[in-house]
Amino acid sequence: MNHIIFQLVAVATLLACAVPASATAKKVIFDTDPGTDDALALMLALNSPELDVRAITVVPGNVTASQGLENALRMVSLANRCDIPVAAGAQHPLFQKLITAEFWHGKNGLANVELPASKCKVDSHFGPDLIIQMVHAAPHEITLVPVGPLTNIALAVLKDPSIVPLVKEVILMGGSIAGGNVNAAAEANIYNDPEAAQIVFQAGWPLTMVGLDVGDKTLFSRKYLAQLGQTHGPVNDFIYAVGKYLVDLSAQFGSLGSPMYDPLAVGVAVDATLVKAPEMHVDVETRGEFTRGETVANRHGMVERNVLHGNHYVIEALDKVAPNAKVCVDVEADRFLQLFVSRIKGK
């Protein structure tokens, strides 16, 4: 009898070992406005065994929708991943004009690095439709990683709200609880489509906000650039060129390194222990004269209840507000940067 049990255990062990890495990896849809830091993030995702990038959807932001699509197709071609569907999405924010950021990302959005023409073909789906289709095809398995304005994600929710309970998690780059980067209040991804962001933050799914609060503590400096300069490969050399552009640009503004905004969102998908992320209720301001696009986080989870008494209000209670996001407030920056370099070196 023991002999039979031993054989059963051996077979079960072999089957477990025989499971291909991708079958255990986290299934991810990457929504992006490529974008220099988007490029670093995508190459990290494609070279992390913990992740299985199932689709890339493109959103206008750093560059126009058409430039972003071209950039995404060239990058998956560089990485020899034409198997990953790349789909165009929204062509503009929900209610405002697009604001592009060639000022920061270079004329073509990829640090003016000219990649070879893509060997890959664009997927025929509209990005939000592809998200809907893939979430229904793999319920409770898909993690959405948006690292641009949230237009595509909002359109997917508006078109089919039933995807919300079927999405495993949303890990987004965006927002800040201590001031903006485009102005005093707003971070770029939120600022470029505040209405879309409010839809995404209020949808009710598990959401992690990887904002400026941790990105600004995670600086890709010449130290890490030099490490990438010691090895070579098509992806390695591309990321080195983009990284050099970013480090040089940061130096022009007196900074020792370039914030790893988008790559850190992928980092959190790879290893959530990299960050400290308390739960908070977050709303997105869509009307403020000075604050449109601000992510307004309630750290204490309470709102004072004011009751009218004659000609004035009196505070009579504290009402709880349910958290809707894990907000990243601290990060093991060097551990993430070492992970990033280790995944890109020599690829």
Binding letters toward ligand RIB, positions 316-345, x by CB under 6 A: ------------------------------
Cα–Cα dist 209/56, whole Å: 20
Binding letters toward Ca ion, positions 252-271, x by CB under 5 A: ----------x---------
275 in contact with Ca ion (CB under 5 A): no
**Residue number, 41 or 329, with CB nearest to Ca ion:** 41
Q: Identify which range of 38-46, 64-72, 95-103, 333-341 contacts Ca ion by CB under 5 A.
A: 38-46
Binding letters toward Ca ion, positions 142-161, x by CB under 5 A: -----xx-------------
**Residue number, 47 or 192, with CB nearest to ligand RIB:** 192
Cα–Cα dist 232/240, whole Å: 9
DSSP calls for 26-42: EEEEEEE---HHHHHHH
Record the tokens describing residue 3, joined without a space: 């002999």
263 in contact with ligand RIB (CB under 6 A): no
Smallest distance, Ca ion to C-beta of residue 40, A: 10
Question: In Å, what is the CA distance from 338 to each residue of 4, 50, 51, 333?
Answer: 47, 16, 18, 9
Binding letters toward ligand RIB, positions 104-123, x by CB under 6 A: --------------------
211 in contact with Ca ion (CB under 5 A): no
Looking only at the bridges linking them, the beta strands covering 275-276 and 169-173 are: unpaired
Record the tokens describing residue 98, joined without a space: 């697009």
Backbone φ and ψ of 116, nearest 5°? -60, 155
193 in contact with ligand RIB (CB under 6 A): no
The vertex-147 CA angle with 133 and 235, nearest 5°, equals: 95
Rg (CA), the chain: 21
Give the largest CA-CA distance in the chain.
86
Contact positions with ligand RIB (CB under 6 A) in 11-40: 33, 35, 37-38
* Cβ-contact 317, 299 below 8 angstroms: no
Site for ligand RIB (CB under 6 A): which residue of 169, 187, 216, 332? 187
- Give which of Ca ion, ligand RIB, none residue 128 binds (C-beta under 5 to 8 Å, depending on kind): none
* Cβ-contact 238, 42 below 8 angstroms: no
**Residue number, 132 or 262, with CB nearest to ligand RIB:** 262
Cα–Cα dist 38/58, whole Å: 11
181 in contact with ligand RIB (CB under 6 A): yes
38 in contact with Ca ion (CB under 5 A): yes
**Residue number, 225 or 265, with CB nearest to ligand RIB:** 265
52 in contact with ligand RIB (CB under 6 A): no
Residue with tokens 């992690």: 208
- In this structure, the number of other CB atoms found within 10 A of the CB of residue 201 comes to 26
Residues near ligand RIB, by CB under 6 A? 33, 35, 37-38, 61-62, 147-148, 173, 181, 187-189, 261-262
